[in-house]
């Protein structure tokens, strides 16, 4: 599947879509849980409370955000792929972080939850038709395609992996 056209998403999301360098979006999505597992394989639990600056999320909160994002993007993909034209509201990520209690969780628990969500989403994605991938709807007051949402989902993970590597794990 090829990258979405610029008309399929709001320019704000170009940051995420541009991070996906491969047209095999399903392969990229399938590989990301393993990439996260590898990144955290040797990380001690106490490092999970580390924030790279005042007011920034901790490493575990960032992982919680990836889980929340996975759920939200998948929900949007589900609704739009089923030709639901009802506008989908946005979500305030900081409020979700405050109420997720990610800092009290283990890395293994957070990573397992992400991997299980992604695996369930992969089963769903593999059964979408070409027509489903091109369907469009409205999310956060912006027109968007299912295909664009899949690329945004993948790019969102890559974006935060890059932040982890450059700001938290240097």
pLDDT of residue 169: 86
Distance CA 98, CA 65 (A): 10
| For residues 52-74, average pLDDT | 97
Please name the CATH architecture into which domain 6-168 falls: Up-down Bundle (1.20)
Distance CA 80, CA 74 (A): 10
| For residues 65-91, average pLDDT | 97
pLDDT of residue 118: 98
| For residues 83-99, average pLDDT | 94
pLDDT of residue 1: 78
Distance CA 66, CA 110 (A): 9
Is the pLDDT reported for residue 38 higher than 90? yes
Q: What is the mean pLDDT of the chain?
A: 96
Question: HSE-up of 135 (CA within 13 Å, CB side)?
Answer: 20
| For residues 160-165, average pLDDT | 96
Provide the 10 A C-beta neighbour count for residue 112: 13
pLDDT band at 59 (very low <50, low <70, confident <90, very high): very high
Residue-wise pLDDT tens digits, 99-147 = 999 999 999 999 999 999 999 999 999 999 999 999 999 999 999 999 9
Residues 120-143: b if buried by 16+ CB within 10 A, e if exposed: ebeeebeebeeebbbbbbbbeeee
Which residues have a Cβ under 8 Å from the Cβ of 18 and sit 6 or more positions away?
155
What is the share, in percent, of the chain residues with pLDDT greater than 70? 100
Is the pLDDT reported for residue 4 higher than 90? yes
Distance CA 32, CA 161 (A): 10
Distance CA 139, CA 145 (A): 10
């Amino acid at each position: 599947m090829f990258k979405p056209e610029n008309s399929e998403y709001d320019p704000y999301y170009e940051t995420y879509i541009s991070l996906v360098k491969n047209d095999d979006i399903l392969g990229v999505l399938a590989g990301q849980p393993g990439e996260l597992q590898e990144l955290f394989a040797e990380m001690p639990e106490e490092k999970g409370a580390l924030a790279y600056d005042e007011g920034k999320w901790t490493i575990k909160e960032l992982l919680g955000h990836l889980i929340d994002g996975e759920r939200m993007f998948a929900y949007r993909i589900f609704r739009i792929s089923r030709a639901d034209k009802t506008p989908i509201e946005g979500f305030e990520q900081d409020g979700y972080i405050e109420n997720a209690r990610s800092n009290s969780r283990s890395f293994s628990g957070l990573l397992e939850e992400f991997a299980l969500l992604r695996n369930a989403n992969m089963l769903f994605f593999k059964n979408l038709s070409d027509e489903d991938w091109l369907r469009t709807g409205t999310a956060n007051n912006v027109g968007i395609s299912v295909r664009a949402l899949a690329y945004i989902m993948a790019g969102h993970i890559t974006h935060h992996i890059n932040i982890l590597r450059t700001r938290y794990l240097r």
